[in-house]
Chain A
Amino acid sequence: MESHKDCEINGPHSMGTTIIGVTYNGGVVLGADSRTSTGVYVANRASDKITQLTDNVYLCRSGSAADSQTVSDYVRYFLHQHTIQLGQPATVKVAANLVRLLSYSNKNMLQTGMIIGGWDKYEGGKIFGVPLGGTLLELPFTIGGSGSTYLYGFFDQAWKEGMTQEEAEQLVVKAVSLAIARDGASGGVVRTVTINSEGVTRKYYPEDKLPRWHEELEPQDSLLDILSSSSPEPMVS
């Protein structure tokens, strides 16, 4: 029993996840939850799944944590070299292509789906999806991760062409919180990254700031805070 439990705690670290990328009039908004799980244990309840590739391109990671971290490290390294050689910021298309090349050529070893989003001066805001297998899809919006299954219908109804930045951010936050409500492998806080011609803005929505959905209870302060702060001494024989 002990070895089985050990395997679970040190098992492959996967991000259950809900990740979203949405274009709006002038840029893109990337959103993600913050739960990383190994089996049924939440290994990190405040992880950051939106990683920076360059100043203007960010990547949402889902699937195996080790695989997606390694892929994003390699792509950041290649993009850095590319930027130096090119002499100007890399385009979102190049970043997405690098991710796709790594994903497709190692498709038997990797288990990670990613969303690349950014802004460049040639094409403006762009979102690319690179799901399992290594396809490259250029889309106005895309969703990924285990929680995304609950959002396909929602996006079909709620997404509109040419939204404002406010509308896009609200849409992403609403969508991630809906997925968190229904998907056990997604949870924690909602993180969003907005990228436009002016730069990058990171936002953070803790659990109490998210809207309540059907049958969800209001968050309560832990009873531990209400009880007196002095704790019993730890058991020492």
Chain B
Amino acid sequence: MSNNSCMDLTAKGGFSFDLCKRNAMLSQKGLKLPPFRKTGTTIVGLVFQDGVILGADTRATEGPIVCDKNCEKIHYMAPNIYCCGAGTAADTEAVTDMVSSQLQLHRYHTGRESRVVTALTLLKKHLFNYQGHVSAALVLGGVDCTGPHLHTIYPHGSTDTLPFATMGSGSLAAMSVFESKYKEGLSRDEGIKLVSEAVCSGIFNDLGSGSNVDVCVITKGHKEYLRNHMLPNPRTYVSERGYSFPKKTEVLMTKITPMKEKVEVTEGGDAMEE
């Protein structure tokens, strides 16, 4: 009987839950999991007269600490499609990079510009397969041959198609701005102004969002990525005295040793073929 249980260990495939047991035992003993880096976030998108405008804040948090004051949350998917990501930073980056590569392969395969619904379907299928454990909430926007499109994608894999959308912890603050001021057929400047206002509302009223506003305008055949379009949180106070640290590490000796040539370069070998 005991022999059989030893043999089982090597035979089976599939996911090994041993580490999960270890984690459970450690957390029971009182060890806390290291906080993973989330993008607390306010991400927004709206459809205007000629296309879509996406907006995002730039704060990335690790628990209560801001780990990146100027991160990029508007990810490239295709020349005509961009995607804002909220949730766990690693998940949003990985999933958008993966689908962006799949879209490029698809473009090579079909010889056509990518469509927004293609990106949407690839993302939602992936997220549904992981049943919400890939914590990525996305606002996907782009302009393709069928027109401008704006979609929201939730971590469990459901999607909505909307004229204006907000996601992330600051979504309620940003949505209040959109609900009161959005109208159809906005011009480019009006749209950028409204998107900036909505993201600012998230930045100032939500603890998980902050720093600067990134905006991306996508129209037919043209896109503008306005990185740090607004900087409403400049570093206003810098100490005049400067920062001096009293105890320096003493330099005892300076010796410079040039690295010997370890590789012989032979000229006129076989040329690398194109």
* Nearest CB of chain B from residue A40's CB, rounded to whole Å: 11
Residues of A near any B CB (own CB < 8 A):
2, 5-6, 9-10, 12-13, 36, 38, 41, 43-44, 46-47, 64-66, 69-70, 109, 222, 224, 231, 234-237
* Nearest CB of chain B from residue A228's CB, rounded to whole Å: 13
Task: Mark B125-158 against chain A: 1 for CB-CB distance below 8 A, else 0.
Answer: 0011001100101000000000000001011111
B residues less than 8 Å from A44 (CB atoms): 152, 160, 162
Contact between B200 and A235 (Cβ–Cβ < 8 Å)? yes
* Nearest CB of chain B from residue A191's CB, rounded to whole Å: 14
Contact between B128 and A231 (Cβ–Cβ < 8 Å)? no
Bound CA span A158–B171, Å: 42
* Nearest CB of chain A from residue B196's CB, rounded to whole Å: 8
Contact between B156 and A12 (Cβ–Cβ < 8 Å)? yes
B residues less than 8 Å from A66 (CB atoms): 124, 127-128, 132, 154, 156-158
Bound CA span A231–B167, Å: 24
Contact between B124 and A69 (Cβ–Cβ < 8 Å)? yes
Q: Which of B137, B159, B180, B200 contacts A234 (CB 8 A)?
A: B200
Contact between A10 and B86 (Cβ–Cβ < 8 Å)? yes
A residues less than 8 Å from B172 (CB atoms): 9, 41
B232 at the interface (CB under 8 A from A): yes
B residues less than 8 Å from A234 (CB atoms): 196-197, 200-201
Q: Would you list 30 pairs from A and B whose C-beta atoms are within 8 A, ordered by A residue?
A: A2-B64, A2-B169, A2-B208, A6-B40, A6-B208, A9-B168, A9-B169, A9-B171, A9-B172, A10-B87, A10-B137, A10-B154, A10-B155, A10-B167, A13-B154, A36-B158, A41-B172, A43-B154, A44-B162, A46-B162, A47-B160, A66-B128, A69-B124, A69-B159, A70-B128, A70-B157, A224-B180, A234-B197, A234-B201, A237-B232
Contact between A236 and B180 (Cβ–Cβ < 8 Å)? no
B residues less than 8 Å from A69 (CB atoms): 124, 157-159
* Nearest CB of chain B from residue A111's CB, rounded to whole Å: 11
Among residues of B, the one whose C-beta sits closest to the C-beta of A8 is: B169
Bound CA span A66–B86, Å: 18
* Nearest CB of chain B from residue A52's CB, rounded to whole Å: 14
A residues less than 8 Å from B181 (CB atoms): 231
* Nearest CB of chain A from residue B26's CB, rounded to whole Å: 19
Q: Which of A6, A46, A65, A237 contacts B154 (CB 8 A)?
A: A65
Bound CA span A222–B181, Å: 12
Residues of B near any A CB (own CB < 8 A):
38, 40, 64, 86-87, 124, 127-128, 131-132, 135, 137, 152, 154-160, 162, 167-169, 171-172, 180-181, 196-197, 200-201, 204, 207-208, 232-233, 236
- The 5 tightest CB contacts between A and B, nearest first, are A65-B158, A66-B158, A66-B157, A66-B156, A44-B160
If A6-B208, A66-B127 are given as contacts, then 11 extra A-B residue pairs at C-beta distance below 8 Å, sorted by A number, are A6-B40, A9-B137, A10-B135, A10-B154, A13-B154, A36-B160, A66-B124, A222-B180, A231-B181, A234-B201, A237-B236
Bound CA span A234–B154, Å: 29
Contact between A64 and B156 (Cβ–Cβ < 8 Å)? yes
Bound CA span A44–B171, Å: 12
Bound CA span A235–B200, Å: 8
Among A12, A43, A47, residue most surrounded by chain B Cβ atoms (within 10 Å): A43
Bound CA span A236–B168, Å: 22
Contact between A6 and B200 (Cβ–Cβ < 8 Å)? no
* Nearest CB of chain B from residue A31's CB, rounded to whole Å: 20
A residues less than 8 Å from B132 (CB atoms): 12, 66
A residues less than 8 Å from B204 (CB atoms): 235
Bound CA span A237–B137, Å: 30
* Nearest CB of chain A from residue B232's CB, rounded to whole Å: 5
Bound CA span A47–B161, Å: 8
Bound CA span A46–B38, Å: 29
B residues less than 8 Å from A235 (CB atoms): 200, 204
* Nearest CB of chain B from residue A229's CB, rounded to whole Å: 9
B residues less than 8 Å from A10 (CB atoms): 86-87, 135, 137, 154-155, 167
B residues less than 8 Å from A36 (CB atoms): 158, 160
Contact between B158 and A13 (Cβ–Cβ < 8 Å)? yes
* Nearest CB of chain A from residue B262's CB, rounded to whole Å: 52
Among residues of A, the one whose C-beta sits closest to the C-beta of B86 is: A10
Bound CA span A2–B41, Å: 11
